[in-house]
Amino acid sequence: MSTATNESKNIHQGRNIKRFREMLGLKQEALAIELGDDWNQRRVSLLEAKETIEEDVLSQIAAILKVPVEAIKNFDEEKAIYNIQNNYEGSHNQGPLNNYGTINFNPIDKLVELFEENKKLYERLLASEREKVELLKNKN
């Protein structure tokens, strides 16, 4: 048996539809509505459990999800995870931070700084509004 045949058997089209649907924040009920009157949430759920999906249904779902049919047919989560781990987490090329050391800061300190800055801005805005009120009072 060839490697290509083994790889194609590992790709679960129904799970891929579910992944793309969830990435778009679309519920099964919403997908069922988009697919037409013959569809309901349960039927979409059953479809997502199928390893292979009929070509016409696959192209209709791909159009609704706005992804290429090939993306649903060929997306392999294990390969994607492997790629991410080897190209980012385990990579020796971590970008410019390696040349300059790590950057450390306390997020709570940054948050406090932002609140203080916001407070100063609010006080200046309040002072400006008070000046406007005084000008209007003096004008009358």
Statement: residue 6 has pLDDT above 50: no
Q: Is the pTM of this model over 0.75?
A: no
At 139 the pLDDT is 86
| pLDDT tens string 52-75 | 999 999 999 999 998 889 888 888
Q: Which of 40, 42, 51, 44 minimizes the C-alpha distance to 15? A: 51
How confident is the model over 48-55, as a mean pLDDT? 93
Question: Please, which residues have CB within 8 angstroms of residue 1's CB and are 6 or more apart in sequence?
Answer: none
Count other C-beta atoms under 10 Å from residue 66's C-beta. Answer: 8
